[in-house]
Amino acid sequence: MRKLLIVSVCLLTLIGCQTTRSGTPRQQAVPAPPPAPAQKAFTKTPDLLRAEKTEYRNGNEIVIHARPISEADAMNLRDESVLDPKNLDSVQDYVTYMHPDKKIDRITVMNGDQNVLSVLDHTDSDSDSPHASGMAESAGAARVPIPPPGVRMDGDITPLAAPNSSREQKVAALRKVGESKLGMKYVWGHNEDRGQVGFDCSNYAEYVYHHALGYLFTTSSRKQYRTVGVRVPVAQMQAGDLVAFNNGGHVGIYMGDGRMIQMGGGTGKCTYLPLKPGSYWYKRISAVKRMF
């Protein structure tokens, strides 16, 4: 009997079965699966990204596929694909520009390895109603207070044109500041007032009004469209007016003679573009905003 017991124990050992003190069989431990390969993630948010493509998902989400890019390489590009991911207004302006007619509640930014860089809700406190601040169209001759709606004066600088300057002097000041940046590279979210290189369209517009007239206002093109200035009919457009296109996807400054000075607009830089009946951007005007 003792020999039979020893043989039984050996047999159990050979087939890999163990017993607990209570006699309950216990299976051998299954080896753990090898760890998944580590993903390549950002150690910190890059200063600049180059947007490679966008996707529209689930009827309300935009996914931006982008890769880090150096400032030197960004300055050599001729398109408008460079984003500053730290400026969330610029990211939202970018998707508005790329998808002006889409419902967008969520924006996801991803690098080429499919790692999420940042996610934000695309929400606006301003209504799309024409009665929102800055959106009600003025009947007849527009009366514009100084500063206009959505604007405050910067008391720390001396603008080229004082608040009591004539319209001609203010337009000349806008032209001088605006033309000083001709050829400057387009970078979403950048503004020289923040010590950065380049501008996007709305940061450029704010910079020009700031240094020409002492105005400070939002650098979001969507919010400039909705909340800045006094809206006037397109037929009454005058030199010095801020002009918004595609529901705030783009902005420029009308300088008279059927031209606007602006940043980007498909050119990747600061330049003049036609703004007269029949022109590409004239057909896309969403609002003309009187600024003085």
Domains of the chain, first to last: 49-121 (no CATH), 152-290 (3.90.1720.10)
What integer pLDDT is reported at residue 96 of this predicted model?
A: 82
Q: What angle do CA 288, 191, 270 make, to 5 degrees?
A: 60
Q: Which neighbouring-strand residues pair with 179?
A: none
What integer pLDDT is reported at residue 136 of this predicted model?
A: 58
Cα–Cα distance for residue pair 219/216, rounded to 1 Å: 9
Which segments of the chain have a pLDDT < 50?
A: 1-27, 29-30, 33-43, 125-133
What integer pLDDT is reported at residue 116 of this predicted model?
A: 80
Cα–Cα distance for residue pair 185/269, rounded to 1 Å: 5
Q: Which H or E run contains 169?
A: helix 167-179
Under DSSP, the state recorded for 241 is -
What integer pLDDT is reported at residue 213 of this predicted model?
A: 98
State whether the Cα torsion 233-235-236-238 is positive or negative: positive
State whether the Cα torsion 94-95-98-99 is positive or negative: negative
Cα–Cα distance for residue pair 112/67, rounded to 1 Å: 6
DSSP secondary structure letters along 190-222: --GGGT-S-B-HHHHHHHHHHHHH-EE----HH
What integer pLDDT is reported at residue 278 of this predicted model?
A: 97
